[in-house]
Structure 1
Amino acid sequence: MVKVQSFNYHAHTKRCGHAIGEDEEYVVEAIRNGYRKIGVSDHIPYPNGYLETDRMHEDEFEEYVESIQRLQQKYAKDIEIRIGLEFEYYPDFEEYLWDMKNRVDYLILGQHDRGLFALDFYKNYRDEDTELYGKLVVEAIEKGLPDILAHPDLFMYGKEEWTATCEKVAHDICKAAQDHQVLLEVNLNGVKYGKCKRGKETRYLYPYRHFWEIAAQYDVRVIYGLDAHFPQKYSDQKCYDIVNQEVIYDLPLTFVEDLSFDKKI
């Protein structure tokens, strides 16, 4: 593990509706805090306005790309910037997702809900929901869509306890990531909620230690993700300290020391 990573590829923009700040403010803050490479990976728009309250609209995508491209040019001497998207995998949208993959530099898979028409997986999360989460994540990885898997342990947000199903899903996800060389992200955003009561545990909602104990058994590459929703997240040292000292402190995870994505657009 590292004290602070020199790159971050998980950051959002105000277009998603739940982040704040101008695009340039994120870049300036990243430079000020010594980051050498960053990516902007706002929530992908889906056709026909699906889930548009949590992501940019379709007609904002071109402006999103153009805005980041202007910043690439303006700050080329100071920092490397790439353009990405964070997506949920739904089989019905596979063709669309492949099209979008070809329109950005990289894709992050961040599976946030139970399925196409079930939006809130943060409450009353059952084993069958965990199974579906694992199925969708593994299928997306096997299809070759994501470069990074964000918060792979997010299913524990709504779980009261770690079950045999959680164990199996964790193994399935880590095996798929290993086989297809997808990066696993230790997400640094979950600790902002503090420790919460879940069943018999009082813990951070994510990252969740049991998942990363399993990840340590596989030949997977790991990165940190700020999951920045405001520019000042780039100055947040505390999130690194909490995760390193309280969650993954002694685990033999293989952290990537440097990471670049080819510029495709």
Structure 2
Amino acid sequence: MLKDGHIHSPYCPHGTKDSFKEYVEKAITLGFKEISFTEHAPLPSGFIDTTPTQDSGMQMDELQSYFHDISIIQNEYHRHIKINCGLEVDYIEGYEVEIKDFLTSFGPQLDDAILSVHFLKHDNGYDCMDYSPEVFGQMVTIYGSIDALYKKYYDTLLKSVNADLGPFKPKRIGHITLAQKFKKRFPTESRFELEVDNLLLAIKEKGYQLDYNGAGCAKPLCREPYPPLWIIKKAIALDIPLVYGSDAHQVKELAQGIDQMEIIKTS
């Protein structure tokens, strides 16, 4: 069964206004039998978005409209494709209580969800690691080296897997090599195999899934999936379920990267 488990929507503040109907019609044309709309959830209560545009997630007052619009499209297309109502939830170190409270309130309305790390914590606050090459470069200066920044990312990912976020915690971990988005400008010799192995073992122990994300293939400074094949082989060896995700922020990005990715098994 061909599934795209990571699709954004017209509610994405840094995406396009392509409609739900356009996404669904295109997914059907591409042969998908199941899709998940996983819009960026509102950031945790009390957290201030540090991106220059402050557009990392939906506003809280948009959530019910988002759920309502998906319910309409689910009813309209239920004979043709399975459509899941989901969210991509940010794990932000230090805001575990607020994230848990959010999931406790809204988790019952979700069919699917992804837990991702975009923001990293340091002594002076938080930075969005994947916002731009310029911000990434500033973070390299803050952390002292590219390797130190990568290590902080993997350490934060591991914390996200192990965090107690309640019974509605997402069971799929998003784009686990997002730190490589700008790797052609910020290269490193290390593959961080120890960190990756520890992360995969924790995912396996929890019974979680991996978001096998095609967006990196389209990024000019990356040009490979999140994660790349050598990590996928480790995940398959551990029998970790893989769920393809286009991470589309516009209709034309549906199925991106899929031709460059290993045959995957979905749960």
Greater Cα offset, 218-227 or 142-151: 142-151
Q: Distance in 1 between matches of 2:14 and 2:239?
A: 35
- Tell me which of 100, 114, 119 is aligned to 2:127: 119
Greater Cα offset, 82-91 or 45-54: 45-54
Q: Does 1:67 align with 2:69?
A: yes
Q: Does 1:239 align with 2:262?
A: no
Contact map agreement 1:141 1:177 (CA 8 A) in 2: no
The within-5 A match list for 1:49-88 is 50-51=48-49, 53-88=55-90
Contact map agreement 2:32 2:81 (CA 8 A) in 1: yes
After superposition, the Cα gap between the structure-2 partners of 1:233 and 1:89, relative to the gap in structure 1 and judged at 3 Å, is same
Q: Distance in 2 between matches of 1:148 and 1:190?
A: 18
Contact map agreement 2:4 2:246 (CA 8 A) in 1: yes
**Partner in structure 2 of residue 99 of structure 1:** 105
User: What secondary structure does 1:174 align onto?
Assistant: helix
Deviation at 1:167, TM superposition (A): 1.8
Q: Deviations 1:196-251 (Å, cap 9, x if unpaired)? A: 5xxxxxx63743344334324422111211111111223x4x6212234xxxxxxx
After superposition, the Cα gap between the structure-2 partners of 1:232 and 1:215, relative to the gap in structure 1 and judged at 3 Å, is same
Q: Deviations 1:56-112 (Å, cap 9, x if unpaired)? A: 111100000000000011111111111000011232422223333223122201211
Structure 2 length normalisation: TM-score? 0.77
Q: Does 1:43 align with 2:63?
A: no
Deviation at 1:11, TM superposition (A): 0.5
Deviation at 1:172, TM superposition (A): 1.9
Contact map agreement 2:103 2:166 (CA 8 A) in 1: no
Q: Does 1:28 align with 2:25?
A: yes
After superposition, the Cα gap between the structure-2 partners of 1:189 and 1:131, relative to the gap in structure 1 and judged at 3 Å, is closer
Segments of structure 1 that go 5 or more residues without pairing to the other structure are: 197-202, 245-252, 260-265
Identity %: 23
After superposition, the Cα gap between the structure-2 partners of 1:60 and 1:103, relative to the gap in structure 1 and judged at 3 Å, is same
Letter in 1 for 2:75: Q
Q: Distance in 1 between matches of 2:206 and 2:165?
A: 7
**Partner in structure 2 of residue 14 of structure 1:** 10
Q: Distance in 2 between matches of 1:108 and 1:141?
A: 15
Q: Distance in 2 between matches of 1:41 and 1:108?
A: 7
Q: Distance in 2 between matches of 1:254 and 1:142?
A: 28
Q: Does 1:130 align with 2:153?
A: yes
After superposition, the Cα gap between the structure-2 partners of 1:225 and 1:68, relative to the gap in structure 1 and judged at 3 Å, is same
CA RMSD, 1 decimal: 2.7
Deviation at 1:195, TM superposition (A): 5.3
Letter in 1 for 2:201: K
- Tell me which of 153, 156, 176 is aligned to 2:202: 176
Q: Distance in 1 between matches of 2:232 and 2:108?
A: 31
Greater Cα offset, 63-72 or 33-42: 33-42
Q: Distance in 1 between matches of 2:237 and 2:193?
A: 13
Q: Deviations 1:163-192 (Å, cap 9, x if unpaired)? A: 37x222211221122112211121111110
User: What secondary structure does 2:158 align onto?
Assistant: helix
